[in-house]
Amino acid sequence: MADTITSGNQLERGLGLAEATALNMMDMVGIGPFIVIPLVIQEMGGPQCMLAWIAGAAMALLDGCVWAELGAAMPEAGGSYVFLREEYGPREWGRLMSFLLVWQTLIQAPLVMASGAIGFAQYFSYLIPLSKWQQKSLSAALIVALIALLYRRISGIGKLSLFLWAGVVGTLLWIIFAGATHFHASLAFDFPKDAWHISPAWFAALGAATGKTIYTYWGYYNVCHLGGEIREPEKNIPRGIFLSIIGIAVLYLAMQLSITGALPWREAAGSPFVVSTFFEHLYGAHAARIATIMVLWVAFASLFALILGYSRIPYAAALDGNFFRVFSRLHPKKHFPYVSLLALGAAGAIFSVLFRLVDVISAILATRLLVQFIGQAVGLMRLHSHWPSSRLPFKMKFYPWPVVLTICGWGALFVAAGPRFMLGGVVVIGTGVAAFLARAAYEKQWPFVESARQGQAS
């Protein structure tokens, strides 16, 4: 009981492997695959888009090795914030890297929330036609409702997550069953003439499509953000990561094959709510409405999980003295970071009104890769050279190759995002560096004071 009941300014370890895996899988699925399937088909121009789903799964597994090692070694609230701080040194460069992570979280976390909420409103318009501004109002209202639902202690959220997860898995299995029972190989493998014409343009299309699919896999690390609330984290964090990636990859591949095997891919590529179109094609309008409701359930569950995880990052930074102090506040009775939850939720609601879905997905990719994913992978290699083996309770197979391939893969996807979004990602980092330096100068902290060792000596 000692590790699950807490008081004061501590989080409680109330999540086991089942809850951790459920939260991860909900975060991964969400509205993502249901809005991305048409985009991936468009990018690849045919059923060969299956390659993009396989490539996305491979990237997730490689990067999952990085997260598993770090999460097992540092099971604290905040995930990447803690990892970057320790990888690059908590008193010097680690302060900058972890600050940049929180800085970009204030932008990309609301973007992720907005993408899910916009997709929810897009599918809802299949049930009740909505104007552009009605969709935007619905997306903002959804985020507000989720914040209200998350305004409770973590043990209650763990139980609720299992209930929502059942709906997520049930929806995916229904889609797969429907496609399997109406499967036509002539549709599933209706490749255009140039489908396998390997060229620079073909690889560029694969990169762009993989950028879309990796968006649907992201979330496998959500358990790391909740590290301070996981029981037996050295075991359950790696298990939760790999179970969720493998399980979701199998479901995604089966779902894509089921849809293109029962619905002509050219029709699927042009549908803004492809699952609804799929069920209407097979069973009629009534079944399509039921399927749409289930997709909305999945989107709701995913937003529930990701808002929960992201709210712990500013909290961890503020608790560490490397961000605004108000974000470190826990609810006096329910012991969750309510200021962080409310601030990110408010930003997500605003972003859902301001931006378009396609732009949001590309902006998320470009904003996150350099600091969080590439920086974190490089930092793990630093830890391997500085930390004793005993400080890494989980060790990936074939090190360092998964890390090297992860860095190369993320670099390629950053380039595939395109010049406009690459520039946006660099601008976010640049403004973050400026904000860090301004704050450090005001607080008389590194790099405007002597190094940690010299400061301790004095």
| HEC sequence for 14-53 | CECHHHHHHHHHHHHHCCHHHHHHHHHHHHHCCHHHHHHH
Mean of the per-residue pLDDT values of the chain = 88
H or E stretch at 436: helix 419-443
Q: What is the mean pLDDT of residues 175-193?
A: 94
Quick one: how far is CA 346 from the chain centroid?
19
57, 245 contact by CB (below 8 A): yes
Note the pLDDT of residue 1: 34
Interval 92-119: pLDDT, tens: 999 999 999 988 888 888 988 998 899 8
* Backbone angles phi and psi of 77, in degrees to 5: -60, 140
CA distance 323 to 105: 12
Task: Please report, for residues 13, 116, 131, 291, 326, the alpha-carbon distance to residue 128 in angstroms, rounded to integers and kept in the order given.
Answer: 42, 18, 10, 14, 41
As a whole-number percent, the residues of the chain with pLDDT over 90 amount to 57
H or E stretch at 262: none
- Fill in the amino acid letter for 331: H
In a 13 Å sphere around the CA of 342, the CA atoms on its Cβ side amount to 12
126, 112 contact by CB (below 8 A): no
Domain spanning 17-453 has what CATH number? 1.20.1740.10
User: Of the ranges 74-88, 209-223, 311-325, which one carries the lowest mean pLDDT score?
Assistant: 311-325
pLDDT band at 439 (very low <50, low <70, confident <90, very high): confident
- Dmax (CA) of the chain: 77
Note the pLDDT of residue 377: 97
314, 305 contact by CB (below 8 A): no
Note the pLDDT of residue 157: 62
Pick from 4, 169, 49, 56: which is nearest to 412 by CA? Answer: 56
pLDDT band at 272 (very low <50, low <70, confident <90, very high): confident
Note the pLDDT of residue 142: 95
Q: What is the mean pLDDT of residues 433-444?
A: 91
Task: Kindly state the tokens that stand for 299.
Answer: 């989107």
- Fill in the amino acid letter for 44: M
Note the pLDDT of residue 300: 85
Collapse the DSSP code of 196 into the 3-class scheme (helix H, G, I; strand E, B; otherwise coil) and give the result. Answer: coil
CA distance 437 to 93: 12
User: Of the ranges 64-73, 238-247, 344-353, 447-456, which one carries the lowest mean pLDDT score?
Assistant: 447-456
As to burial, measured by CB atoms within 10 angstroms (0-12 exposed, 13-18 middle, 19+ buried), residue 411 is middle
Pick from 367, 131, 109: which is nearest to 219 by CA? Answer: 109
Structure-model confidence comparison of residues 239 and 158, the more confident one: 239
User: Of the ranges 52-66, 293-307, 433-447, which one carries the lowest mean pLDDT score?
Assistant: 293-307
User: Does residue 15 register a pLDDT over 50?
Assistant: yes
User: Of the ranges 17-31, 229-243, 376-390, which one carries the lowest mean pLDDT score?
Assistant: 17-31
Per-residue b/e over 186-207, b at no fewer than 16 CB within 10 Å?
Answer: ebbebeeeeeeeeeeebeebbb
Q: What is the DSSP string of 276-330?
A: HHHHHHHH-HHHHHHHHHHHHHHHHHHHHHHHHHHTHHHHHHHHTTSS-GGGGPP
Task: Kindly state the tokens that stand for 298.
Answer: 């999945």
CA distance 137 to 145: 12
Size of the chain in residues: 458
120, 296 contact by CB (below 8 A): yes
As to burial, measured by CB atoms within 10 angstroms (0-12 exposed, 13-18 middle, 19+ buried), residue 292 is buried
Query: Residue 232: left if φ>0, alpha if ψ -120 to 50, beta else—which one?
Result: left
**pTM, full prediction:** 0.83
Domain range annotation of the chain: 17-453
Collapse the DSSP code of 399 into the 3-class scheme (helix H, G, I; strand E, B; otherwise coil) and give the result. Answer: coil
Tell me the helices (H) and strands (E) count for the chain, helix number first.
21, 0
Note the pLDDT of residue 455: 44
CA distance 432 to 107: 11
| DSSP-assigned beta bridge partners for residue 226 | 77
Note the pLDDT of residue 6: 41
